[in-house]
Chain A
Amino acid sequence: MPHVIIPVVAAALCLVAGTAYADRLLVSNEKDNTITVLDADSLKVTKTVPVGQRPRGIVLSRDGKSLFICASDSDEIEELDLATMTITRTLESGADPENFDISQDGKTLFDANENDATVSFTDVDSGKIVKVVQVGVEPEGMAVSPDGRVVVDTSETTGMAHFIDTTTGDVLANVLVDARPRRATWTPDGKFVWVSAEVGGTVSVIDAATHAVVHRIGFEIPGVTKEQLQPVSIAITPDGTTGFVALGPANHVAVVNAKTWEVEKYLLVGQRVWNLALSRDGKWLYTTNGISNDLSVIDVAARKVTKSVPVGGLPWGVVVAP
């Protein structure tokens, strides 16, 4: 049934220019030390907020009222109040925080500290680090399971996905994937974790219960060299049917059938496509393109790129906020 309805709704949204929501898009600009705020309907930049040095990973608080920012070169996490658009406080992190995720109850941030080979747990209320977990070299990808019990970290040089218990901090499993794993993303049902390997050129699908790699998704685009196919960010639609994989310098996003793991389409976006975010209703996908300094907008149902919007210098992360 939803197969019939989705294109219709999407078409309707296109006609009325998506007036159903007044969401905001927040983009971290690594080079400019700013957050760009866009209106999700008009795709107009409404504000540019100066933040700490080299903002990369960004994540929304569970109540949607603030944005947490990894200010990598400031070695701290900043909290941006989304009502006033001002930095209200800083939270502790380890050295060079690059990326993080937030617990399902919103009380803990799990930070990948790239230079330290650690994952730290930052208590949101106190802003203090309450736990430090040793992981592999160059941790980067962080993803909390839908049930909140497990956080997966990917360590780039070690080539592993580490499954970490969010309560105890114990490492439950270390799963070897292909070279230079960048990101982990859970399927909405919590059964699988997809891990992208930038240099290996694959996405490994890990069974979350057995920790076995059950499938490796490969990519091939005519006219694009094997070396350029570097999977980074992954987004899976809330209904669990479709996965999107940003292919970095290949300047494409792969559309993957999340049930069969077959790649069904490649969409041309901006240069060095890095991070992805889905709109809250799952109808739109936004991509940050680091070299062309823009954001591409993809119509999920139609599988088409509809627009690209200039943002700041070296856009890194993107988040959809109410």
Chain B
Amino acid sequence: MARPRAAQAWLVLALALLLPSYAHADDPAQIAVVWLGLAARRDIPSTALIQPPADEGVLGARVALAENATTGRFTGQAWTLDEHTAPDEAGVLDAAHAALAARRRLIVTDLPAPLLLKVADLPDAKDALILDAADPDDSLRAEDCRRNVLHLMPSRAMLADALTQFLTVKSWTHILLVTGPQPADLLLAAAFRASAKKFRVKIVADKPWTFIEGARRSDTGHFAIEAEVARFTQGIDYDVLVVADEADAFADSIPFHTTDARPVAGSSGMVPSAWSPVFEQWGATQLQLRFLKAAHRPMTNRDYGAWMALRTLGEAATRAKSADPAAIAAFIRGKDFELAAFKGSRLSFRPWDGQLREPVLLSDPKQLISVSPQPGFLHQVSELDTLGVDQPETKCRM
């Protein structure tokens, strides 16, 4: 199968080089993308009512695949997405082995960091391109970086910097940092601390959250929370409370319960993210409506990561005029790659750690509040590089 497909790809490439514009291809070149997902149950512990959709992520990939296919009608490229979502690690690794054995080389993942590394380190994956559509882990962009992996979502360092830049602009420079007990919460808090140091804002109190809620949302449960949060925040002189709670276990309990009238940001209140269902600038409404029509639900951050991954492949295949995975991967890493992702700027990958350069939204559940980088944060290459780890500081050695 691999040989005729490659031959087709070269034929299309040859035609593209001969003609000033695309000829209509009756025999399109096939581009097969593999989706690897871990069907981990991700529930929001603090509420039974609002839960993440089970198909979060992969639906974003499907919407982008349809867009690639529409463009592919004019470029002679046909797209497929082989979806493999397994309930456990073994299942994901089996699917990865099978896909790589079938010479699939374009892989989009929605996997936690340790499992992502296992896939990336498979011997057959050496010449594959793995687009990590979901994980914000900083170590994947540092000591655990891999030559064959690119990251679509902002890292925790970028999310933290986006928030801290905003706080700097507002002169809210005294922070009360509240950290949950989960490993991800500790990593996010570490990112907030590093960002505070970078932008010279002061963490005046750094407190772990230890209170185990009872039946908070049962009748009168809010009284217990109100008392606990008031006690927790008493006697501290701060401008803004920043909370690190990635699983949404308690962060939403904090606003309005603090002793002093202070805004909340981080995992509740004003949240930094790549995407928000309420975002409508730079043509984003069009993508929101397109997604809504296809999925019958709003587009989440995770959906957007997967959408960007598939669109990255689509954009590269169009511009490189090739269906060959190696040519697509080379173009994505090249200087001419730019992704239009409804953020008003050209997105590209940082060569030093494989991270996508991207603006970060700051929003609450009803509105976009701001977009970082904030005006005035300058950089000699791209202002987007004021978010996250810049080249001189990188610990990634590929």
Q: Select which of A115, A212, A225, A230 is within 8 A of B20 by beta carbon.
A: A212
In whole Å, how far is A56's beta carbon from the nearest beta carbon of chain B?
A: 12
B283 on the interface (CB 8 Å rule)?
yes
Would you give the 0/1 interface string for B28-70, flagging 1 where the beta carbon is closer than 8 Å to chain A?
A: 0000000000000000000000000000000000000001001
Q: Do A159 and B318 touch across chains, with their CB atoms under 8 A apart?
A: yes
Give chain A residues whose Cβ lies under 8 Å from the Cβ of B7.
Answer: none
8 Å CB contacts to A: which residues of B237-273? none
A180 to B75, CA, bound (A): 17
Q: Do A199 and B340 touch across chains, with their CB atoms under 8 A apart?
A: yes
Give chain A residues whose Cβ lies under 8 Å from the Cβ of B344.
Answer: 199, 227, 230, 249
A158 to B314, CA, bound (A): 9
Q: Select which of B21, B67, B293 is within 8 A of A212 by beta carbon.
A: B21
Interface centre among B22, B74, B289, B383 (most CB of A within 10 A): B74
Give chain B residues whose Cβ lies under 8 Å from the Cβ of A101.
Answer: none
Would you give the 0/1 interface string for A77-116, flagging 1 where the beta carbon is closer than 8 Å to chain B?
A: 0000000000000000000100000000000000000110
Residue of B nearest to A227 (CB): B345
Q: Select which of A134, A176, A210 is within 8 A of B22 by beta carbon.
A: A176
Given contacts A179-B338, A225-B383, contact A138 B286 (CB under 8 A): yes
A171 to B346, CA, bound (A): 29
Q: Select which of B22, B283, B286, B345 is within 8 A of A174 by beta carbon.
A: B22
Q: Do B74 and A136 touch across chains, with their CB atoms under 8 A apart?
A: yes
Interface size on B, residues (CB 8 A): 26
Give chain B residues whose Cβ lies under 8 Å from the Cβ of A43.
Answer: none
Give chain A residues whose Cβ lies under 8 Å from the Cβ of B338.
Answer: 179, 199-200
Q: Do A115 and B71 touch across chains, with their CB atoms under 8 A apart?
A: no
Would you give the 0/1 interface string for B60-90, flagging 1 where the beta carbon is closer than 8 Å to chain A?
A: 0000000100110111000000000000000
Residue of B nearest to A176 (CB): B318
A258 on the interface (CB 8 Å rule)?
no
Give chain B residues whose Cβ lies under 8 Å from the Cβ of A134.
Answer: 70, 73
Q: Do A180 and B340 touch across chains, with their CB atoms under 8 A apart?
A: yes
Main secondary structure of the interface of A (DSSP, over half): loop
In whole Å, how far is A6's beta carbon from the nearest beta carbon of chain B?
A: 36
Q: Do A157 and B340 touch across chains, with their CB atoms under 8 A apart?
A: yes
Give chain A residues whose Cβ lies under 8 Å from the Cβ of B73.
Answer: 134
Give chain A residues whose Cβ lies under 8 Å from the Cβ of B340.
Answer: 156-157, 159, 179-180, 198-199
In whole Å, how far is B323's beta carbon from the nearest beta carbon of chain A?
A: 15
Give chain B residues whose Cβ lies under 8 Å from the Cβ of A96.
Answer: 289
A284 to B74, CA, bound (A): 39
Q: Can you list the 8 inter-chain pairs with the closest CB atoms, starting with the nearest? A: A212-B20, A227-B345, A199-B340, A174-B74, A158-B71, A179-B340, A173-B21, A180-B340
**What are 25 A-B pairs at a CB distance below 8 A?**
A96-B289, A115-B289, A115-B293, A134-B70, A136-B70, A136-B71, A137-B71, A155-B71, A156-B286, A157-B67, A158-B74, A158-B318, A159-B71, A159-B319, A160-B22, A173-B21, A174-B22, A176-B21, A179-B346, A180-B283, A199-B338, A199-B346, A225-B383, A227-B344, A249-B344
Interface positions of A (Cβ within 8 A of B): 96, 114-115, 117, 134, 136-138, 155-160, 162, 171, 173-176, 179-180, 198-201, 210-212, 225, 227, 230, 249
Q: List 19 other contacts, CB 8 Å, given A157-B67, A175-B20.
A: A157-B71, A158-B71, A159-B315, A159-B318, A159-B340, A162-B74, A171-B74, A176-B21, A176-B22, A176-B318, A179-B346, A180-B283, A200-B346, A210-B20, A211-B21, A212-B20, A227-B344, A230-B344, A249-B344
